Amino acid sequence: MLAFLGLSMVVVFTYLIMAKRLSPIVALIVVPVVFSIIAGFALTTDKMMLDGIKMVAPSAALLLFAILFFGVLFDAGLFDPMIKTILRVVNGNPVKIAVGTAILSLTTALDGDGTTTYMITCAAMLPLYKRIQMNPMILASICVLSLSVMGGMVLTSS
């Protein structure tokens, strides 16, 4: 029963967001509370919400720090020499562009955070992909693959 309610909750808030009936923030707050009441947890919903926030807060703080830190590094130009070298070496060859994307993505994925990996890699490589009319899905796929490899390495070394 709870599994069905959980799946129904995901479907309902996805529908409400996609149909633009509710904003994502409101839908992700109101819908779980309503489903918690429907499931019979009305008296313990507040305690479960606080427990959930306590569990997620450290990860959220770490993610926020990583995004801000790598955003500052990117804005300061720390990755510019590597990006310029990659762009000079690839010279418009799609295979080399894909390999260069992988190198950049693997390097930026060393922290294990997907947000900064996408932020840096896509900001650097997407204009090149558009200019030579390469499919941007290749860029996204390479980012996902490199993040899965490097994220796994970071987790196993911890």
Q: Tens digits of per-residue pLDDT, 115-133?
A: 778 888 888 888 888 888 8
Whole-number pLDDT of residue 21: 92
Is the predicted pLDDT of residue 5 greater than 80, yes or no?
yes
Q: Which domain, by its residues, includes 137?
A: 63-157
Is the predicted pLDDT of residue 137 greater than 80, yes or no?
yes
Same domain, 76 and 153: yes
Q: How many residues appear in the chain?
A: 158
Average pLDDT (69-77) is: 81
Cα separation values, 19 from 14, 15, 23, 24, 34, Å:
8, 6, 10, 11, 19
- Name the one residue in this structure whose structure tokens are 């993610």: 63
Same domain, 79 and 111: yes
Closest CA relative to residue 125, chosen from 102, 151, 106: 102
Number of domains into which the chain is organized: 2
Average pLDDT (60-82) is: 80
Degrees (nearest 5) of the Cα angle 156, 107, 123? 130
